[in-house]
A and B are shown apart, each in its own frame.
Chain A
């Protein structure tokens, strides 16, 4: 396909077939934002139900479905894809690459995630959503009637495959595609944390795949892994789920840490304090993340020695995390701090996340955990970690990289109102939940009795949730009203890293010439020691680009169709779907596709004839 033909696609066809990491990134962001709004709506519905004692806003079954889908959606379909969107767009730019290592697989990862997410949500219209909690503990999930859990199993299996593909892609990209001079220890922290998070994905997701496979075999084919009366063991599921589930927490929060490191350094006008300690702490957190899963199961009855070992291992994670917190504070120390919206989110993150960390150490105390387990204390803890860490990180990253990704700056005034409203709503919602938990309100209940001291705090919590909802609407409004603030310099924040060296809007080949990296904070080094522009590491020439492909969409669609076959035991449909999948894979294997070249003249024209 020639270059001219590559540019003449219709808009819709272009987005359906794109393999460009920037467009795939935007697709991830758009789909993730949709699921984020959906998960948020589910949360608000639940909070309305819990606004007053014995409120009858929702039936209990619907409440169970909402709480399951809220957790599943927020973790798998909102937080991870939104992070993947930022990673996809930013990481190749930060390492000076023209794309990820496997552009086709990148698109495949996105479409698998999207079809998995759609499949999960189809369950709402097909006899009820999954209702066994996002952890889907057996035997509740293996014995649950209806098809809800089947949708959960297959939806997560498909989107999990997409995530695994994405993670491997990032690993290969970061290892192999760094620009000349970009050694591992010169990589920006966001790229580093993406790298470590991808390693966690690579090692943790297989455990989920196996767990889901066992559950699928149990539910659809009558296997007995978890059936106690046939010699099965229900604890296997809990172990498999948390061997995946705990690293998953770090898969989410490490990239957010990376985002904060970039933002705090940029808006303090200082190099990140303790760069190598930050990298080391990230690696240690990644490793320890695998060694602590059983702290979710202290009350299962593993025994005091096992509980103590996992308690100590869990508390050990506070050490590298503390190193990070102090490094951020010391980066701010003496810096020329700019209170942009992105930086406000980063600054709001530090105390919020520390609060979540402190309750984490409390929960890690295995003896005390018997009191906290399955109460609202746990709910408060993980929302402090995930909203205070990941969601604030996502919003910070959105405000920071928005000009890079979409070519316009988000309105700062609206952004600051959004920040304060969101932060206020978040603390209002979840701070009181600590105390609700301590006085004994169990989590995952559809209602509670009045006059037990739970009434006021539940009402306050719901009001906080409304604040967060309104704040998010404000963010969406901001996206539209800011469209006129075109950003043309390509470097709106006086940035430090390679993604700010590119003109705005980002050309599809990213770098006309691969840059030569001479220090950490490559652009900042050139601003101070050079002429403010990156030195080129190669002469200007034709740029080789991959062709778009519709096959990722078809492969994912095939799995989507096959899933219905498995759920409803329509084997012909399952086979038809798998034929589509393997047919598309076969076409991909035998069809020669060498991509196309963007001629040198076009690149020169885009650079303004220089």
Chain B
């Protein structure tokens, strides 16, 4: 067990293998693409508010949708939820989402003035 005692924060030494290099290049590409996409989504959100042509009744659900996409991108691309070993984190997050959405949605309906 002694050789497991190394400092995980220490910088790596030596040349990475070809496989690692390819993986890093692929990861960089995904991150750059997602970054551009997220900037694009953010500007869409901004435009939908800044422009007078778009009514608020459309802008609000639209921005919520964009926000959802951004959260998923953030979690999977930048917080590495798509990598191996994160299965349980995925299970717990999505269970929570699946339970929370119907709960919050019906709660909002039931708390209103309207009787269903």
Q: Which residues from chain A sit less than 8 Å from chain B, CB to CB?
A: 171, 175, 199, 202-203, 233, 235-236, 239, 243, 287, 290-291, 294, 301-306
Contacts and interface: CB of A to CB of B under 8 A. Distances in A.
B115 A301 contact: yes
B99 A290 contact: yes
A235 B99 contact: no
Given A239-B111, A287-B99, A306-B115, 8 more contacts: A199-B92, A235-B110, A235-B111, A243-B103, A294-B106, A301-B115, A305-B116, A306-B110
Interface residues of B, number: 17
A199 B102 CA distance: 17
Contacts of A290: 99, 102-103
A303 B99 contact: no
Contacts of B106: 294, 306
Contacts of A233: 111
A600 B32 CA distance: 53
Nearest to A236: B111
B9 interface: no
Contacts of A291: 102-103
7 contacts: A202-B96, A203-B100, A239-B111, A291-B102, A302-B115, A303-B116, A306-B115
B95 interface: yes
Contacts of A294: 106, 110
Summarize B's interface: helix, strand, loop or mixed. helix
Contacts of B109: 306
Nearest to A175: B88
Contacts of A236: 111
Given A175-B88, A199-B95, A239-B111, A302 B116 contact: yes
A239 B92 CA distance: 24
A55 to B, nearest CB: 41
A211 to B, nearest CB: 12
A564 B115 CA distance: 42
Given A175-B88, A203-B95, A203-B96, A302 B110 contact: yes
Nearest to B100: A203
Interface string B74-116: 0000000000000010001001101110110011011100111
Contacts of B110: 235, 239, 294, 302, 306
Interface string B31-57: 000000000000000000000000000
B56 to A, nearest CB: 23
Contact of B99 (A171, A203, A306): A203
Which 9 pairs of residues, A with B, have the shortest CB-CB distance?
A303-B115, A303-B116, A305-B116, A306-B116, A290-B99, A175-B88, A302-B110, A203-B99, A239-B107
A538 to B, nearest CB: 11
B88 to A, nearest CB: 5
Contacts of B88: 175
B84 to A, nearest CB: 15
A222 to B, nearest CB: 22
Contacts of B100: 203
Contacts of B114: 303
A467 to B, nearest CB: 41
Nearest to A200: B99
Contacts of B111: 233, 235-236, 239
Nearest to B104: A243
Contacts of A304: 116
A175, A233, A236, A304: most-surrounded residue (chain B CB, <10 A): A175
A581 to B, nearest CB: 28
A283 to B, nearest CB: 10
Contacts of A171: 92
Nearest to A233: B111
A171 B115 CA distance: 39
A202 B100 CA distance: 12
B1 to A, nearest CB: 9
Nearest to B109: A306
A236 B115 CA distance: 15
